[in-house]
Structure 1
Amino acid sequence: MIDHTGVSVSNFDASKAFYDKALAPLGARMLMQVPLERTGGLGVAGYGRERPTFWLHEGRPTDRQHVAFSARSREEVDAFHRAALAAGGRDNGGPGLRRHYHPDYYGAFVLDLDGHNVEAVFHGHVPAKG
């Protein structure tokens, strides 16, 4: 249902460096940066796997947003969390099952440089060993 979304960030270059590192384990990267002459001199960049679906907009963040990125495995969720913390994010809920959402909901939460709640989530069932 959602084609794309984004957040405003106070320091475009620092946030771009954060998202470059945090989204890499999910197979996402910056795919497009809009030329400054088309944005009035403000940084605008789009991230995704195949096309831009998440956008950073340089500006004044007025409200904290929650953005959840889909992961293809629990390992990707774990790697996202480690990468986001290493890139300067703050822990807001380490990797684990969130059964109050759904029995197979495995997610991790990090606050980005502007306090946006950024999540990676995997909805797949992992069969029991044995």
Structure 2
Amino acid sequence: MPLFDHIGISVTDLPRSIAQFDPVMQALGCTRQDAENGVSWYLGEEELILFPARESGNGPHRHGHVGWQHLAFPVTSRDEVDRLHAIAMDAGWTDVRAPKAYPRFNERYYAAFVEDDNGIRFEFMFNPPREVDA
């Protein structure tokens, strides 16, 4: 059983957020499904849903405040981290941390962090298993 079934995110400007999220989510291999009051992307049974905020004027989210921190997407290579980072930049996301190694986590960890107009932060990360001595 997966840890999460779905993640719902409220956004200020749904059409703008769709324009930012769609290229990234499609690049992650997700399928988009539009609904009357939002849009979702799914991969297998996991789903990310965007909803319009119920109240205006209370965004964007500020990183480090109580609430959302970031969502990390594991990918298969450093090149894939670089590719997703470039796609996000082209879609209007803000570069928080360009792709680089994170030896403070371990010598294999490579990641990039991006943030959308709502302060929603994504991490694209490659962290292959440690080589096991035979």
Q: Which runs of 5+ in 2 are unaligned?
A: 63-67
Contiguous gaps of at least 5 residues in structure 1: 37-42
- Does the Cα contact within 8 Å between 1:70 and 1:120 map onto a contact in 2? yes
Question: For residues 110 and 63 of structure 1, do their structure 2 counterparts lie closer, same or farther at Cα, with a shift above 3 Å needed?
Answer: same
Return the offset for 1:104. 1.9
The question of 1:93 aligning with 2:97 is answered: yes
Stretch deviating more after TM superposition (44-53 or 74-83): 44-53
Alpha-carbon spacing, 1:100–1:2, altered in 2? closer, same or farther (3 Å): farther
Q: How many residues align?
A: 119
* C-alpha separation in 1, matches of 2:106 and 2:34: 36
**Which SS does the other structure have where 2:108 is aligned?**
coil
Q: CA RMSD in A?
A: 2.2
The residue number in structure 2 matching 1:9 is 11
Q: CA deviation at 1:74?
A: 1.6
Moved more, 48-57 or 11-20: 48-57
The aligned residue for residue 47 of structure 1 is 41
Q: Following the alignment from structure 1 to structure 2, what is the Cα–Cα distance between the partners of residues 74 and 68? A: 14
Structure 1 runs, 4 residues or longer, greater than 6 Å off: none
How many angstroms apart in 2 are the aligned matches of 1:102 and 1:58? 38
Distance 1:62 1:82, change over 3 A: closer
Identity across aligned pairs (percent)? 29
- Between Structure 1 and Structure 2, the one with more strand by share is 2
Output the amino acid matched with 2:13.
Answer: N
Structure 2 distance, partners of 1:52, 1:3, is 5
Q: Distance in 2 between matches of 1:55 and 1:62?
A: 17
Between the aligned partners of 1:6 and 1:121, the Cα distance in structure 2 is 21
State the SS of the aligned residue for 1:84: helix
Contact 2:72 2:125 in 1 (8 A): yes
Q: Indicate the larger mover: 21-30 or 112-121.
A: 21-30
CA distance in 1, matches of 2:116, 2:31: 16
Q: Secondary structure at the match of 1:104?
A: coil
Partner in structure 1 of residue 88 of structure 2: 84
Tell me the distance in 2 between the aligned counterparts of 1:72 and 1:91: 21
